[in-house]
Structure 1
Amino acid sequence: MTSRMKCLALDYERFHRCFRMFLEVSSEHQATHKFIHENLPDILTCIGEGKTTFDVISVGTGTGEVDLEILSQLIKVLPDVKVGCDMVEPSEPMLEKCKELVLRTPNLENVNFTWNQMTASEFEKRWRHRQSEKKLDFIHMIQMLYYVTDTAATISFFRSLLNENGKLLIILIAGESSWGKLRCTYGNELYCTEITQCVTAADIKRYLTAEGISFETFVLPSTMDITECFIPGDEKGELLLDFLTEVLDFSHSAPPELKAGVMSFLRSPDCSSQVNGRIIFSNNLEVLVWLLAVQYVLGHYPVGGPVTEAELSDTGRYVSLRDALVVFIVSCTDSRFPVPDAAKQPQNKTEPPPCFTVVEPSWVFFHGAHYCSKCDGWCDQKMVDCVTISFFRSLLIENGKLLIILVAGESGWGKLWDTYGKELCCTEITHWVTAADIKRYLTAEGISFETFVLPSTMDITECFIPGDKKGELLLDFLTELQDFSHSAPPELKAGVMSFLRSPDCSSQVNGRIIFNNNLEALVLDP
């Protein structure tokens, strides 16, 4: 950021005007509202079951509208619980507005507020100084990690405050949103100051995955109309430009070359689309939640081991065999997700439509034609054929779920396929597709889904020992080519071997080469 440009956050009045204008032209609050009312109650219920007290920290409270909406849902699902709520916000004007809102909000008799006018790092220092042993049930950081200097340290500290069953919820712009692309392209010039940082949900997911931290994600589709940004002198457009760039008076303070580049990028297909003559910016958000109970169901039962109704019900989430009487396993290989015995033989009922469909395995051998001739499977590389997903979704009852497990787009597999997909994976049998491709399709179609990241690694050291039988078998599996070591053209083999060893795919641990084998589970509604 040049010396002439100043951070928008330094001017509270201007920031507040920009933020209000942003809310007027975007659907962000509607998307957040939908998540709070449709998804959050289950999470809060799972945390609070059997409790008489419930302790919350709101980090980056702002003016409190979203915070009080969360509290309202908490009170709704846990009406008899006494709630302690720490509100952490450095801006005095914002905190005062929040206090005023609390006074006007009904049904908060069971909530005891503690007001902390300070930054997250100041709160951390005070907490450590007091040597408090208090543990929290729920901590949320909504659109605030842009304003901390060390996101990893901040997340680590607040996670350390959680009870055993506590949850940390983070909402940030999605890495694949227009915000994410703008920050990736112009982050150094616009956002990197002592006050604001260039960070997206994708950055946080990479950190969490590297640390082996399990989490669940929810994509919140949202858009913003930025048409007025391209009308010179339009006050509304100038306020929106300040908010987009986080630069005070961007239209007049930005260097001409930077301004021209940003304006061109904002209008490009990478950022926006034309709808009825308006310029619509992608403002998608992602919610990250620590949700270990579901991770247990998805990843920690022994292969082929039985899962009882009681075990599944203990998760407190959507998998319940009282409802899920029919389960389809759609796969060209043996599924590694065990079929509950109770689901195999429905009792005293004619067989109903399935309400829980499991699509396996992780390695993209998804082919609906084995079940229904109407399904054409996957089509060309990077193009998801919606027929297969659409068909199996159509089988679900009202509260049913479709589960898809694939390699994560940011895994070593995803990066290998991005780089060598055309040479390796596109055949009549297997195709180049990752969870990231499916998420893009689902988001474009407006299909709601949850995602679970399943951290996983693979030791590929023997792949680099010439003639090693174990290594050759692994290379065949990685490339999906028979006898890759001897059949691949020398130039392709050299490129693949170099890429597999690179930091994009693998890391060195105690002299071993460890490949990033992360998966993602996508859970779709009907």
Structure 2
Amino acid sequence: MATTIRSISEDSEYYAKSFKIIKPQLTRIQADLDKIFEKTIPKKVIVRERGLKVLGIGSGSGELELKHTLQLLRTFPQISLTSIEPVPDHLDEYKQLVAKEADTLKSVTYDWRQQTLDQYRHEVGASKKYDVIVSINSVYYFDDVEDSMIYLRDILEDDGILIIVLVSENGMTYRLWDRFPHLYDASHFHRICSLHLLDVLQKCNIKYDSERIRSDVDLTECFIEGSEDGQYLLDFVSHVIDLRGSTSPECYSEFVSFLKESTRKDSTEENGVRWVFVTEQEVLYIHK
């Protein structure tokens, strides 16, 4: 190996930079999640004589969480939202979004926390409970997944709902992690899929409902030599900072080849040839 392999989760600035490149590709997943939230939370959560209490774990730059908050305001006129996000650039972008919607969000109070779930737990413990807890693709960063799931269920209010979104075993994302495990030996990042989490929930006797969503991600830039955006895409997909420079030429070539062989080749007159990566995620609902 040319240098020590580091996960993008270890560098918040690099993570934010690489996420910006892939973010436009995630609109389909976000649209599916919008529909799921709209049909699920208002029907499942019961709140009487107070505002709705929401905890967002790994809130990112806020686009998705803001949409969900605006949806919730149609049913719950008062909302207090605690947003946990360790990447400072993401939290700053989120605050800017909220500022633009200040008039619409007058009845929403925010508690911004630049920290991980484990840091939040160490500071707050179980002293505060929530009606809605949402974790979208953040379970990979929990220090102890099983212990964290028990904790999150414990801080749910009665009649509350915990929503967890993570990759399934069928999606290309997990297949890459499973195919190249040596890339993550030194990382705190957990290479888990929904099957692993379901085992944890069953072991802890935590009941759940679930459904799956699929989406296409255009990774054509990954296969264009010299493309800076392509390198950031590869780093985000692999979860490795500077995949090309951090691994041997043989490992890098094997990774790119496997990725290309696993994508779908689309061709249209308007866009030419595109290489499309199919991702599948599972949405888990835990009620209390």
TM-score by length of 2: 0.90
What one-letter code is carried by the residue in structure 1 that aligns with 2:95? K
Q: In the alignment, is the contact (CA less than 8 A) between 1:175 and 1:203 conserved in 2?
A: no
Q: Report what 2:73 is aligned to.
A: 75
Partner of residue 110 from structure 2, selected from 107, 110, 113 = 113
Shift of 1:194: 4.1
**Structure with the larger strand share:** 2
Supply the distance in 1 between the matched residues of 2:274 and 2:114 (Cα, whole angstroms).
40
Indicate how the Cα distance of structure 1 residues 30 and 89 shifts in structure 2: closer, same or farther if over 3 A, else same: same
Q: Report what 1:5 is aligned to.
A: 5
Q: SS where residue 67 of structure 1 aligns?
A: helix
Indicate how the Cα distance of structure 1 residues 137 and 192 shifts in structure 2: closer, same or farther if over 3 A, else same: farther
Supply the distance in 2 between the matched residues of 1:283 and 1:23 (Cα, whole angstroms).
14
Look at both structures and tell me which one has the larger radius of gyration over its CA atoms.
Answer: 1
Q: Report what 1:202 is aligned to.
A: 195
Partner of residue 191 from structure 1, selected from 184, 191, 194 = 184
Shift of 1:2: 8.1
Q: Report what 2:270 is aligned to.
A: none
What one-letter code is carried by the residue in structure 2 that aligns with 1:70? H
Supply the distance in 1 between the matched residues of 2:36 and 2:175 (Cα, whole angstroms).
27
Q: Report what 1:287 is aligned to.
A: 283
What one-letter code is carried by the residue in structure 2 that aligns with 1:60? G
Shift of 1:291: 4.2
What one-letter code is carried by the residue in structure 1 that aligns with 2:17? R
Partner of residue 241 from structure 1, selected from 214, 217, 234 = 234
**CA deviation map 1:313-356 (0-9, x unaligned):** xxxxxxxxxxxxxxxxxxxxxxxxxxxxxxxxxxxxxxxxxxxx
Indicate how the Cα distance of structure 1 residues 39 and 91 shifts in structure 2: closer, same or farther if over 3 A, else same: closer
Q: Does 1:266 align with 2:259?
A: yes
Shift of 1:223: 1.1
Q: In the alignment, is the contact (CA less than 8 A) between 1:172 and 1:286 conserved in 2?
A: yes
Q: Does 1:85 align with 2:76?
A: no
The within-5 A match list for 1:219-368 is 219-268=212-261, 271-276=262-267, 277-291=273-287
Partner of residue 149 from structure 1, selected from 143, 147, 150 = 143
Q: Report what 1:340 is aligned to.
A: none
**CA deviation map 1:234-280 (0-9, x unaligned):** 21211111111111111222122321221221122xx3222213221
CA-based RMSD: 2.1
Supply the distance in 2 between the matched residues of 1:259 and 1:75 (Cα, whole angstroms).
47
Supply the distance in 2 between the matched residues of 1:127 and 1:239 (Cα, whole angstroms).
35
Q: Report what 2:208 is aligned to.
A: 215
Q: In the alignment, is the contact (CA less than 8 A) between 1:21 and 1:236 conserved in 2?
A: yes
Shift of 1:285: 1.8
What one-letter code is carried by the residue in structure 2 that aligns with 1:177? G
What one-letter code is carried by the residue in structure 1 that aligns with 2:22? F
The within-5 A match list for 1:362-377 is none
Q: Report what 1:311 is aligned to.
A: none
Shift of 1:50: 4.2
**Structure with the larger helix share:** 2
Supply the distance in 2 between the matched residues of 1:273 and 1:51 (Cα, whole angstroms).
52
Indicate how the Cα distance of structure 1 residues 219 and 117 shifts in structure 2: closer, same or farther if over 3 A, else same: same
Shift of 1:123: 0.6
Q: Which has the higher contact order (CA 8 A, sep 6+)?
A: 2
Identity %: 25
Supply the distance in 2 between the matched residues of 1:209 and 1:275 (Cα, whole angstroms).
40
Supply the distance in 1 between the matched residues of 2:160 and 2:142 (Cα, whole angstroms).
23
Q: SS where residue 280 of structure 1 aligns?
A: strand
Q: SS where residue 39 of structure 1 aligns?
A: helix
Q: Report what 2:124 is aligned to.
A: 127
Indicate how the Cα distance of structure 1 residues 83 and 252 shifts in structure 2: closer, same or farther if over 3 A, else same: same
Q: SS where residue 45 of structure 2 aligns?
A: helix
What one-letter code is carried by the residue in structure 2 that aligns with 1:272? T
Supply the distance in 2 between the matched residues of 1:31 and 1:161 (Cα, whole angstroms).
27
Which range is displaced more, 232-241 or 40-49? 40-49
Supply the distance in 2 between the matched residues of 1:112 and 1:159 (Cα, whole angstroms).
23
Q: Does 1:35 align with 2:33?
A: yes
Q: In the alignment, is the contact (CA less than 8 A) between 2:12 and 2:86 conserved in 1?
A: no
Q: SS where residue 283 of structure 1 aligns?
A: strand
What one-letter code is carried by the residue in structure 2 that aligns with 1:183? W
Q: SS where residue 4 of structure 2 aligns?
A: coil
TM-score by length of 1: 0.51
Indicate how the Cα distance of structure 1 residues 51 and 193 shifts in structure 2: closer, same or farther if over 3 A, else same: farther
Q: SS where residue 253 of structure 2 aligns?
A: helix
Shift of 1:30: 2.5
Q: In the alignment, is the contact (CA less than 8 A) between 1:6 and 1:247 conserved in 2?
A: yes
Q: In the alignment, is the contact (CA less than 8 A) between 1:273 and 1:279 conserved in 2?
A: yes
Q: Does 1:139 align with 2:133?
A: yes
Q: Report what 2:17 is aligned to.
A: 17
Q: In the alignment, is the contact (CA less than 8 A) between 1:138 and 1:168 conserved in 2?
A: yes
Supply the distance in 1 between the matched residues of 2:2 and 2:54 (Cα, whole angstroms).
39
Supply the distance in 2 between the matched residues of 1:164 and 1:6 (Cα, whole angstroms).
41
Q: In the alignment, is the contact (CA less than 8 A) between 1:149 and 1:194 conserved in 2?
A: no
Supply the distance in 2 between the matched residues of 1:122 and 1:194 (Cα, whole angstroms).
18
**Gap regions ≥5 residues in structure 2:** 268-272
Dislocated runs of 4+, deviation >4 Å: none
Which range is displaced more, 42-51 or 118-127? 42-51
Indicate how the Cα distance of structure 1 residues 213 and 21 shifts in structure 2: closer, same or farther if over 3 A, else same: same
Partner of residue 41 from structure 2, selected from 31, 41, 44 = 44
Shift of 1:198: 0.9
Q: Report what 1:103 is aligned to.
A: 99
Q: Does 1:182 align with 2:176?
A: yes
What one-letter code is carried by the residue in structure 1 that aligns with 2:235? D
Q: Report what 2:54 is aligned to.
A: 56
